[in-house]
Amino acid sequence: MGDLKIYPSKLKGEVKIPPSKSMAHRAIICAALSDNSCRIDNIDYSDDIIASIDAMKSLGAIITKNEDYVEIVGAYKDIQSTENNRIIDCNESGSTLRFLVPISLLFKGSSKFVGKGNLGKRPLTTYYNIFDKQNIHYSYEKDNLNLEIRGELKGGTFEVEGNVSSQFISGLLFTLPLLKEDSKIIITTNFESKSYVDLTLKVMKDFGIEIINKDYKEFIIKGNQKYEARNYRVEGDYSQGAFFLCADAIGNEIVCKDLDINSLQGDKEIIDILKKMNVEIMVKGNEIEGKRKKKLKSTYIDGSQCPDIIPVLASVAALAKGRTEIVNVGRLRIKECDRLAAITSELNKLGANIIEKEESIIIDGVDELQGDKVVWSYNDHRIAMTLAVVSSRCKMPIVIKDYDCVSKSYPKFFEDFEKIGGITVEWNVGK
């Protein structure tokens, strides 16, 4: 991986926000579970999306990648005649892993899930409990993704905790309508990240699947349903747009294009949070821009429903007047890295004042950041992009180690960053 030196500069211009990774995962899966041909438009080939494409190909879908769209011939029509011992490489994509584990049980044969980075450390206990109840064979290695499963998932009642990753619930929602039996998912605790389940239900409905949502406490799923083949366009991604809206908040002038103000994405919460911090949000069609007309002020942020935008929000809070507390973000410790530790360490290097707690961070705002430091992305795309954004408010340049990890979700981030005035130079630390 490489290192990148970034000089402080004002960012100004327009950025077409990449397509929603969350929506793209879901559309590819639904199309690949149909029994005919589909076209999914507005695709960005990040590492995570490539992982989901390759995973569905492993299950038998025929997927052709074009410049910004994919053509998919669904796999489900031949499901009963296919038996394989397949390998599903999830790379570092938690979504691919947790969505595909139950889906793979729709297909005969065994599935071996592999991956890299911290993916093997992400807990899968929710599924293991189901496997134990249904006598589904599985074996795995602790802290290393090498999971092998074989068996047939049966419908029925599934009790799932709501305060673990919503990806487990989505994985079951994708799978259960295709079983012979009717099913029910019962949520046994407070439900976090509801918005991600909303996205799952929306895309599934677009592909012809009906699920009854009883106030996020129960989901009623009829069996013997079919995914209907259709064409679909993926909307812009608020979790990526958040980097540029936060850049606006700290004094830049960027127009974010292809963001739907009526989106169901949970990360659209970025708009309401920035408004509370004295940022005016201007909307014109599918274009959104943030304007800071007063000094940024601190606020209280509950990150339980929008964990992905917390790192970059922390950079805004670091430059706001007063104390900001960001709570209910313990799950950030089991992402691509421990994001709470990473953002505390690296922003503090630049002159921020952040205190890390077990499930929260406390940020006392400062007037400016110093820079003149080597900071590390922790090989985490969201940490790298956060550091790039905050560089615009440093007095001196910074060097980001392992900056190219942005390929996981936003391969063209630094290309877009330079188009709006970012000044970057590839750098060899210590040479």
CA 14 to chain centre: 23
Please report which helix (H) or strand (E) contains residue 416, including its range: helix 413-419
Q: Which residues contact 84 (CB under 8 A, 6 or more apart)?
A: 60, 107, 108, 109, 110
- Order the strands of the 287-292 sheet from edge to edge: 12-16, 253-257, 287-292, 279-284
Burial 142-162 (b: 16+ CB within 10 A, else e): eeebebbbbeebebeebebbb
Q: Which residues contact 199 (CB under 8 A, 6 or more apart)?
A: 22, 23, 26, 264, 265, 266
Place of tokens 């550091």: 387
Q: Is 193 left (phi over 0), alpha (psi -120 to 50) or beta?
A: left
3-class DSSP state for residue 146? Answer: strand
- Intra-chain end-to-end CA distance of the chain, in Å: 16
Provide the strand spans (E) within 338-416: 353-356, 361-364, 373-376, 398-401
Which of 403, 407, 415 shows the shortest CA–CA distance to 378?
403
Q: Residue 67 half-sphere exposure, CB side, CA atoms within 13 Å?
A: 0
Look up 402 and say whether it is catalytic: no
Contact yes or no for 48/407 (Cβ under 8 A): no
3-class DSSP state for residue 194? Answer: helix
3-class DSSP state for residue 131? Answer: helix
Please report which helix (H) or strand (E) contains residue 48, including its range: helix 47-58
3-class DSSP state for residue 164? Answer: coil
Q: How far is residue 250's CA from residue 207's CA, in Å, rounded to a whole number? A: 40
How buried is 260 (Cβ within 10 angstroms: 0-12 exposed, 13-18 middle, 19+ buried)? middle
Single out the catalytic residue among 44, 48, 267, 308.
308
Q: How far is residue 150's CA from residue 113's CA, in Å, rounded to a whole number? A: 11
Catalytic residues: 308
